[in-house]
């Protein structure tokens, strides 16, 4: 699955739990995602460790026997990093590091590290730095002693790398300063949004790596960075798009993810403001991903948390060019699973009853693009007429010349 050029990747192992709240199937989904996160950050995963516990051990997250097993494997195979699927408490981090004697990361720290890699603008870097400091503050003693022993690599980017002697008071001062800086930028961005004139605003939302940036490029004929890795886009991009003869603004936002660190939700408030203040949401879903229904639920949950769940929305099921299923033989009497459902069958399920306009496309091959663009046009037009009734656009849809 992953590029195994180990000279440029850190060797890592993953650790997760089957608990009362998380069965084995759900854990495997999360571990697959964690492996993709690790790969995005720059690690190659050598092994996964799982354990069944009623709840995580308060001292070491896993049981003492499992911790010994991980330690033996890590030592024997010269593994540099152990990544846990859930957020660890400061005491768990400290105990695990003492026990296993290598770098210990949790899911939150891993996501923060990817954000630190991906942040391009001063604003994005400020948001990430604030989230990192908020994560570091309760773990200050652990991080500092750890950094003295082994610097660099995944989870070690950003604040703290050169400030080992920094105490909590200075960290708190820095957090206050960053919050003030973000407040100033948020005001500037709010002013920019208000100055965009009488144009309808649409925002692309969706799980990370569903193809939002590829779709943005195809619709706006621009070059927004797109890559088959998680969180390829951090900075909000706004482009003017014209469909038919109707202009509107299209925003590409940061992708959502399950178990999104609370520090990031707070830090990326302004990015989420773009979603909150949009007139229309275009919810992009990767139909080829086996957990796409969970992804939809996660995005809807975050939309509800930021009070943006009642906006007009279009459901765009992307990557139909990558969709595959296992056809059952006629004499196979075993129960069907999700893997046996074809695209046509999916279209007849709950998707057909959705209260939102729904379309199935490929942003890469532009399959069904005409249908999607007509759908977006119709929704934008409804909003435009209700909001700017005296604006003299000619509301007559016609297809672009470069349509397939």
Question: Is there a binding annotation on residue 109?
Answer: no
* Residue 38 counted as an annotated binding residue: no
Determine if residue 402 is labeled as part of a ligand binding site. no
Q: Would you say 27 is a known binding-site residue?
A: no
Q: For the chain, first and last CA: distance in Å?
A: 33
Q: Is 61 annotated as a binding residue?
A: no
Q: How far out from the chain centre does Cα 345 lie?
A: 28
Consult the annotation and say whether 74 binds a ligand: no
Query: Was 213 annotated as part of a binding site?
Result: yes
Separation of alpha carbons 119 and 122, rounded Å: 8
Q: Tell me whether residue 167 is annotated as binding.
A: no
* Bridge partner list, 317: 285, 360
Q: Is 206 annotated as a binding residue?
A: yes
> Is residue 95 annotated as involved in ligand binding?
no
Nearest to 47 by CA among 35, 56, 57: 35
Would you say 284 is a known binding-site residue? Answer: no
Other Cβ atoms less than 10 A from the Cβ of 335: the count is 7
Q: Is 66 annotated as a binding residue?
A: no
Does 65 belong to an annotated binding site? no
Residue 135 is labelled as binding a ligand: no
> For residue 357, what are its two tokens?
């306009």
Q: Which residue has the tokens 């003030």?
A: 180
208 is in an annotated binding site: yes
319 is in an annotated binding site: yes
Q: How many other CB atoms sit within 10 Å of the CB of residue 246?
A: 20
Q: Is 229 annotated as a binding residue?
A: no
Query: Which among 154, 157, 173 has a CA at the least distance from the CA of 110?
Result: 154
Confirm whether residue 321 is marked as ligand binding. yes
Q: Is 317 annotated as a binding residue?
A: no
59 and 133 Cβ atoms separated by less than 8 Å:
no
Q: Please give the torsion angle defined by the CA atoms of residues 327, 328, 329 and 333, in that order, rounded to the nearest 10 degrees.
A: -170
Residues 386, 256: Cα–Cα separation, whole Å: 31
**Is 280 labelled as part of a ligand binding site?**
no
Annotated binding site for GTP: 206-213, 231-235, 252-255, 318-321, 362-364
Annotated binding site: 206-213, 231-235, 252-255, 318-321, 362-364
Annotated binding site for Mg(2+): 213, 233
């Amino acid at each position: 699955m992953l590029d195994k050029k180990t000279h440029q990747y850190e060797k890592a192992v993953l650790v997760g739990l089957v608990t009362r709240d998380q069965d084995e199937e759900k854990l495997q989904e999360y571990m697959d995602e964690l492996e993709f996160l690790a790969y995005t950050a720059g690690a190659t995963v050598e092994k996964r460790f799982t354990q069944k516990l009623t709840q995580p051990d308060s001292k070491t997250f896993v049981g003492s026997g499992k911790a010994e097993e991980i330690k033996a494997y890590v030592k024997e195979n010269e593994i540099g990093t152990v990544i846990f699927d859930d957020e660890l408490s400061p005491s768990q981090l400290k105990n695990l590091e003492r026990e296993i004697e290598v770098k210990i990361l949790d899911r939150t720290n891993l996501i923060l590290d990817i954000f630190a890699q991906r942040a391009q603008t001063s604003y994005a870097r400020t948001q990430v730095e604030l989230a990192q400091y908020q994560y570091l503050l309760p773990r200050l003693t652990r991080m500092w002693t750890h950094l003295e022993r082994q610097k660099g690599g995944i989870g070690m980017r950003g604040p703290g790398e050169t400030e080992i002697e920094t105490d909590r008071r200075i960290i708190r001062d820095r957090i206050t300063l960053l919050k003030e800086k973000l407040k100033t930028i948020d005001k500037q961005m709010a002013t920019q949004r208000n100055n965009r004139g009488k144009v309808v605003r649409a925002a692309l939302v969706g799980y990370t790596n569903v193809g939002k940036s590829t779709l943005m490029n195809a619709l706006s004929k621009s070059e927004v960075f797109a890559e088959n890795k998680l969180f390829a886009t951090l900075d909000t991009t706004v482009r003017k798009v014209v469909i038919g003869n109707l202009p509107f603004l299209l925003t590409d936002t940061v992708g959502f993810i399950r178990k999104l660190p609370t520090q990031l939700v707070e830090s990326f408030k302004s990015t989420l403001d773009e979603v909150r203040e949009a007139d229309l949401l275009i919810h992009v879903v990767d139909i080829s991903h086996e957990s796409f229904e969970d992804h939809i639920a996660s995005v809807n949950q975050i939309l509800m948390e930021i009070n943006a769940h009642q906006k007009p929305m279009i459901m765009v099921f992307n990557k139909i060019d990558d969709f595959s299923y296992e056809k059952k033989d006629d004499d196979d009497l075993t129960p069907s699973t999700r893997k046996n459902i074809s695209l046509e069958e999916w279209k007849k399920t709950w998707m057909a009853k959705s209260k939102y306009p729904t379309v199935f496309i490929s942003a890469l091959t532009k399959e069904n693009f005409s249908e999607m663009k007509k759908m977006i046009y119709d929704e934008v037009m409804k909003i435009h007429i209700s909001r700017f009734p005296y604006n003299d656009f000619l509301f007559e849809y016609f297809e672009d010349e470069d349509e397939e």
